[in-house]
Amino acid sequence: EAGVAQSPRYKIIEKRQSVAFWCNPISGHATLYWYQQILGQGPKLLIQFQNNGVVDDSQLPKDRFSAERLKGVDSTLKIQPAKLEDSAVYLCASSWGDREEGYTFGSGTRLTVV
């Protein structure tokens, strides 16, 4: 089975610019997650989708971050405008929803804001 696909792998932007990340989860996985991983830290949940509905976006900085999963399959995460502290790896993960199986993660997008 194909893994979780993310693009781009790397992105360098200037502060105040906009950026978008794309994720295609494993086929059939109803639940999709976006995590932010700052260097030296564990992943922090930004938003969780169940199909195309938002389950949890309590940690998403909504003044600058937005995410959508329109058809319940792939998803995009956008930052507008970016700040220096947004420099991190953005990880997408998906799951069937059963806790035993844990999550399958993509390789992430490394964002550097200069």
Partner 1 sequence: GEDVEQSLFLSVREGDSSVINCTYTDSSSTYLYWYKQEPGAGLQLLTYIFSNMDMKQDQRLTVLLNKKDKHLSLRIADTQTGDSAIYFCAETLTRNTGGFKTIFGAGTRLFVKA
Q: Under the rule (CB under 8 A), what is the footprint of partner 1?
A: 4, 40-45, 48, 50, 55-56, 91, 93, 99-108
CA 73 to chain centroid, in Å, comes to: 13
Nearer to partner 1, 33 or 65 (CB): 33
What 8-state DSSP symbol labels residue 80? Answer: S
Nearer to partner 1, 15 or 62 (CB): 62
Give yes or no for a contact between 76 and 56, defined as CB atoms under 8 angstroms apart: no
Q: Can you tell me the distance from the alpha carbon of 85 to that of 37, in angstroms, rounded to the nearest whole number?
A: 11
Q: Which of 11, 4, 2 is nearest to 74 (CA)?
A: 4
The minimum distance between CB 85 and partner 1, in angstroms, equals: 17
The minimum distance between CB 7 and partner 1, in angstroms, equals: 13
Nearer to partner 1, 55 or 84 (CB): 55
